[in-house]
Chains A and B, each alone.
Chain A
Amino acid sequence: NAGVTQTPKFRILKIGQSMTLQCTQDMNHNYMYWYRQDPGMGLKLIYYSVGAGITDKGEVPNGYNVSRSTTEDFPLRLELAAPSQTSVYFCASKRGGNTEAFFGQGTRLTVV
């Protein structure tokens, strides 16, 4: 019953460092999403993917990159971390069509 798994759960980065947030799902879902959630706010879409090899920008893609080489994995890459990227990051997946999305538990990232 793993569902959507995100690692790490917490991370502190220095300005200018890079890191990859990992997301994997075992439900064979086609669609995967990365959101960020700032304090007191809703979720903003960073990138999404409708299947392996296909990625698209969401509302707030600047400063991030993604790849989708397999159905299961959808890593999010920060190349040059900035304080504005301090946030909680959520990965989600859904089967496709008119179905609901399932979320991971989040990665809390602080850039100092």
Chain B
Amino acid sequence: GQQLNQSPQSMFIQEGEDVSMNCTSSSIFNTWLWYKQDPGEGPVLLIALYKAGELTSNGRLTAQFGITRKDSFLNISASIPSDVGIYFCAGRSTGNQFYFGTGTSLTVIP
């Protein structure tokens, strides 16, 4: 299957700091999605990106669809304790399958 490389694997940050994580693929994708997963819960969609170069915000979250269509990043500004969780990128090429990154575990220290 497709390989999505997500980095960093984990982050420990102070409350109020900004966070940046990214995802790269060996293949071109037509859709990039960013999900957050809380312990014991299913992933919840944060941001969806459908066009190369697209920059989309959702509150303190901003994500971009890379121009090469092989990467995407997610930024979180002014982190708060409830941002704790695992963040996953997911990409779709021309088929109907989404491929997921291995996740970035975020810990926010108050």
Write the residues of chain A forming the contact surface with B, with a CB cutoff of 8 angstroms.
Answer: 4, 31, 33, 35, 40-45, 48, 50, 56, 58-59, 90, 92, 98-106
- A-B pairs, top 6 by smallest CB distance, nearest first, are A103-B42, A42-B100, A59-B1, A43-B100, A42-B102, A100-B48
CB pair B1 A45 closer than 8 Å: yes
The CA of A102 and the CA of B40, in the complex, are separated in Å by 16
Write the residues of chain B forming the contact surface with A, with a CB cutoff of 8 angstroms.
Answer: 1, 4, 6, 30-31, 33, 35, 40-45, 48, 50, 88, 90, 96-103
CB pair B97 A43 closer than 8 Å: no
Q: A59-B1, A106-B41, A106-B42 are in contact. Are A48 and B97 (CB under 8 A)?
A: yes
CB pair B45 A41 closer than 8 Å: no
Q: A59-B1, A103-B44, A106-B42 are in contact. Are A98 and B31 (CB under 8 A)?
A: yes
CB pair B30 A33 closer than 8 Å: no
Indicate which residue in B6, B33, B43 contacts A90 across the interface (CB closer than 8 Å).
B43
Q: A98-B50, A106-B41 are in contact. Are A43 and B96 (CB under 8 A)?
A: no
